Structure 1
């Protein structure tokens, strides 16, 4: 199954599909109520797809929720292991849509797709939006989850990987943040020494849709070279936008790169080496 689905695919509006609208930020629910796809469940990036960290130095600003909590959330949404799930957000899959896709894949739920182009592509196609709160019927039992999320790495592995010629650490934040010119969200500007920069939006067309699979493969191959997919680590500021790139990689046929969930928000708070354009690290 392709990780992406087009708005023209009638399966999106099949009553058997679990359609989930992911929003982030303080006014996330208000934006959902201003317009969402019919029968789309509201999901909060900050409350449903992340834990609330006591200290972002250990796990970052958006640590993964405990698996028991995520399983209970899936039950509340009516999700079972047999569910076909379609997710989207209002930021071209960069602020929650791909994160939920990645989380589901990480627990072994493969029947999930992300709407290519997100809410905007639906609006561009003239889909009539709903302003009603959709209330799903909860599943009869809690979603069965494994003991841990798959395909993650911790800060210790990132330290080693960033120094290894046989591995690649990719930072998908905007170049000015990577170079240390500015940092609007975390305490210190810069990047992990040894990490390379590939801004996530390079994977998007001017219309906000993913490039073709062929174009994405060229983009990512130019970045990772001969490194095996399983030796590629992707991160961002807090482990959300990185999932946008991981989804793009899978769409391009590059399966196996892993997520550093803590990302820059964790690394930059741990008194570790920091590279910037100015210091040349």
Structure 2
């Protein structure tokens, strides 16, 4: 289990004393956190805590991963150690920074980390206490992580396997970005030649909650066919919403897919081939 409902969240809070993480992105992330968050939740900033940006997105994309040991220091500051139960949510129904935090903690080797389906909206609707107060917590030693233990893929590897039928490169961005209709964030519209488009939004139902385990399993088993999940590479614009699909696949029992962190923001800035239209 990687994804929990608000009822399960209530049970965890009542019985397990979890570390609660509010993960958000954007320039005003902290401001929005301070305007209202789950009581006792601690703040994780996508831009500074879950990324280690370079001056040039051509090297690593817009949200490069921090060094594992730096992430370990951050986890210690949050009071997270290998025995902690960690529950994370965001203000994008789990589709953004929460999924990234989940992936990073799993890649650090952590076992007990869960994402709240529906995010902050669902939490508020469920009647859990929303606070504007910053929580006081006990810091711990840096989390013992020196390498990412989940597959991190680079652009050269993607280029080498994108046309290989034994592999699958999944682009989770909105279809209009994939086909090259327009590109609101990066410099070039289109997609990696050979990549298939499965928007991350298709992991959600009409209410914005994650689809059931059975629905996700049918969806992704059908998509990857007889391929080994370890031969699947997932990317997005900058390595964040791709984690939403990696979370959905893991929930469906399809572990082992790789994350191309640099994603389109890196690929499109390096004079690599660009495809448009429907594959």
TM-score range relative to shorter protein? over 0.9
**Structure 1, gaps ≥5 residues long:** none
| Residue of structure 2 equivalent to 1:209 | 209
Query: How many residues were matched structurally?
Result: 277
Shift, 1:128, TM fit? 2.4
CA distances 1:92-150 after superposition (whole Å, capped 9, x unpaired): 111100100000111100111111111111112122200111232101x2111133453
CA contact (8 A) 1:86 1:113 kept: yes
13-22 vs 57-66, greater mean Cα deviation: 13-22
Asked whether the 8 Å contact 2:178–2:191 carries over to 1, the reply is: yes
Query: Any conservation in 2 of the 1:88–1:118 contact (CA below 8 Å)?
Result: yes
1:15 Cα shift?
6.5
Structure 2 contact 69–146 (Cα < 8 Å) conserved: no
Note if contact 1:230-1:256 (Cα within 8 Å) is conserved in structure 2.
Answer: yes
Deviation string, structure 1 residues 183-239 (Cα, Å, up to 9, x no partner): 111000000000000010011011111101111111112221111100000000000
Match of residue 73 from structure 1: 74
If the length of structure 1 is used for normalisation, what is the TM-score?
0.95
What is the correspondence of 1:102-141 to structure 2 with a 5 Å cutoff? 102-139=103-140, 141=141
The Cα shift of 1:14 comes to 4.9
Q: Any unmatched runs of 5+ in structure 2?
A: none
Q: 2:16·2:85 contact (CA, 8 Å) conserved in 1?
A: no
Q: In structure 1, what is the Cα distance between the partners aligned to 2:15 and 2:124?
A: 18
For residues 57-106 of structure 1, the C-alpha deviation after alignment (integer angstroms, 9 at most, x for no partner) is: 11000000111211110111011111110000010111100100000111
Point out 4+ residue stretches in structure 1 off by more than 6 angstroms. Answer: none
The equivalences for 1:157-172 within 5 A come to 157-172=157-172
Question: TM-score under structure 2 normalisation?
Answer: 0.96
RMSD value, Cα: 1.3
Q: Are 1:42 and 1:134, in contact at CA under 8 Å, matched by a contact in 2?
A: no
- The aligned runs of 1:47-196 (5 Å cut-off) are 47-139=48-140, 141-196=141-196
Measure the CA separation in 2 of the matches of 1:44 and 1:77.
12
